[in-house]
Chains A and B, each alone.
Chain A
Amino acid sequence: MTVGAPAKWGLRTLGLGYLALLLLAPVAMIFYKTFEHGIGPPLEAMTSSDAVHAIWLTLLMVAVAVPLNTVFGVGCALLLVRHRWKGNAVIDGIINLPFAISPVVIGLSLFLLYGSGGWFGPTLAEWGIEVLFSTPGMILASIFVSLPFVVRETVPVLQEIGTEQEQAASTLGASAWQTFWRVTLPAIRWGVAYGVVLTTARVLGEFGAVTIVSGSISGKTETLPLYVAKSFEQFNEQAAYAGAIVLALLAFTTLLLMSVGGRRAKSQSQTNPAGGT
């Protein structure tokens, strides 16, 4: 559409202005607030023992939840795309559930399962396993909220690469396992990587579900997002801002990886000679 110059400038101002007011200005403001008095105060806040523990625990969530959901995601995508089955539609629906559920409800669901009056809670307590208000419960919450990403990013890439190269490999005598590692995985790697980035970002930042199951005990069950919220509520704003900046920087890294990974995934599926079979 050839719009006139005034309309063009109007739309541009409207769109970019909205983005500036809603996204850019608040984020710039928190950077300013954090470094208002130099780099000393935020650095000091982030090296306190509670903050260090929160960072460590957050990384532990990522280290457990992301690999599990990645292995599950790739395996599940292969089953959904390559093996027709009546149950596939049901599995597909269940995989999308975590996106439709409030994080608080996810937290409540784990609370009801593993709490002292829950389905599994009493039995596990007898065995000496503590899930709620401790690390396992928080890991379960992280896995739940970030479950769909790898499957959803891998399925379309798997559909697009088709099966010609895999057929060629197996014709030449490769086993299914060899074909997967040498042909399939290299072809879908950017789609998987994109899903892994999204999963990591979600686990790093999860607040609602984790806050319900963790009890938010400082130095014990407090991840970085919980540390930010608690610091702010206790009027320790400097610590809250510093924690927020760490998370924001991780988010910007995620954005960078997303725009690179997204582009790679796209160009890969377009240039792949086996596409469209």
Chain B
Amino acid sequence: MESHPATLPAPHRAGVRLPGAGVGLGRGMVTLYLSLIVLLPLAAVLDESLSGGIGAFWSAVTTSQSIAALKLTVICSLIVVAINAFFGTVIAWVLVRDEFPGKGAVNALIDLPFALPTIVAGLTLLTLYGADSPIGVDVAFTRTAVIVALCFVTLPFVTRAVQPLLLELDREMEEAAASLGAGGFTIFRRIILPNLLPGILAGVMLAFARALGEFGSLVLISGNIPFKTEVSSVFIRSQIESGNVSGAAAVSVVLLAISLLLLVAVGLVVRFGMKQRKEAA
């Protein structure tokens, strides 16, 4: 190159830019695509849920069966994220700080629940933990099955959120603490855990949002028994099939609202974590 670009008056300071009209056109097309694919359908759900007025919405959400389904969904999701917060952090630690043959393969395997179709996930769990279990563990059609399936599909979230934080964690801090006489557990509690907490929280909330809406992995293994193993997503499907579409829409709106609140919270936690790290640096 003959001349360094920085010495010239740069005609396009921001790189690839569309001409003025192009930007408007691009924005218009993005907005149109998002409206057609995402916004209009969701507006239809909101509209349908309120089609009988707010009273009908409320009574659809508070039928004993939909309350039971919502309760089961939320409680199972909470249990599942607690389990995966613990195991996800342990797995992240093993993958970052431990050395053993086959570590690369294990690291790739973590993403399996994201790659494996949910219906296949449910079916695989059923072959090992169902009625024909070769090891004699039959949890099919119980609440335990709901928890096991949700643990499977949400496994990667915490591990993947904690791994980068653990990689960045300054080992000198831990060594300093150790030289001052801190034991392994104290170092974990006072130094490692506080540093990993934003990652664990972000992973937990993403996993929770995923668990709330999960459907495919549950339909085969949970048995979909009302008041016992029927989660909200399965309840919504059964309401559609029995023709109660506005009831299905009402429960959908409640699920949507919870997930949206969670996503906003994730954004706040991530921003808080970044700010903290910046201040520490």
Contact = CB atoms under 8 A, between A and B. Distances in A.
A201 B124 contact: no
Interface string B115-156: 111111001110111000010000000000000100110010
Contact of A105 (B97, B118, B252): B252
Given A1-B192, A94-B39, A98-B38, 4 more contacts: A15-B87, A91-B34, A176-B17, A240-B123
B256 A14 contact: no
Contact of A103 (B5, B8, B39, B216): B216
B233 to A, nearest CB: 4
A166 B16 contact: yes
A27 B124 CA distance: 6
B209 to A, nearest CB: 5
Interface string B25-59: 01101110110011111101101100000000000
Contact of A255 (B91, B109, B209, B259): B109
Contact of B123 (A30, A105, A254): A30
Interface of A: 1-4, 7-8, 11-12, 14-16, 18-19, 22-27, 29-30, 33, 72, 75-76, 78-79, 82-83, 85, 87, 91, 94-106, 108-113, 118-119, 140, 143-144, 147, 162-164, 166-168, 170-171, 176, 179-180, 183-184, 198, 201, 204-208, 211-212, 225, 228-229, 232-233, 240-241, 244, 247-248, 251-252, 254-256, 258-259
A256 B104 CA distance: 11
Contact of A27 (B12, B40, B112): B112
Interface in B229-281: 232-234, 236-237, 240, 245, 248-249, 252, 255-256, 259-260, 262-263
Contact of B30 (A29, A91, A96, A251): A91
Interface of B: 1, 5, 8, 10-19, 23, 26-27, 29-31, 33-34, 37-42, 44-45, 47-48, 87, 90-91, 93-95, 97-98, 100, 104, 106-120, 123-125, 127-129, 134, 148, 151-152, 155, 171, 174, 178, 184, 187-188, 192, 209-210, 212-216, 219-220, 232-234, 236-237, 240, 245, 248-249, 252, 255-256, 259-260, 262-263
A275 to B, nearest CB: 13
Given A4-B184, A100-B262, A104-B236, A228 B27 contact: no
Nearest to B263: A100
Contact of A144 (B11, B37, B151): B37
B12 to A, nearest CB: 5
A2 B171 CA distance: 10
A14 B93 CA distance: 11
B37 A212 contact: no
User: Main SS of chain A's interface residues?
Assistant: helix
Contact of B214 (A8, A100, A102): A102
A167 B15 contact: yes
A87 B34 CA distance: 13
Contacts of A112: 41, 44-45, 47-48, 245, 249
Contact of B174 (A1, A24, A97): A1
Contact of A247 (B107, B117, B148, B188): B117
Chain A CB count within 10 A is highest, among B12, B97, B110, for B12
A83 B22 CA distance: 11
A12 B112 CA distance: 20
Contacts of A100: 209, 213, 256, 259-260, 262-263
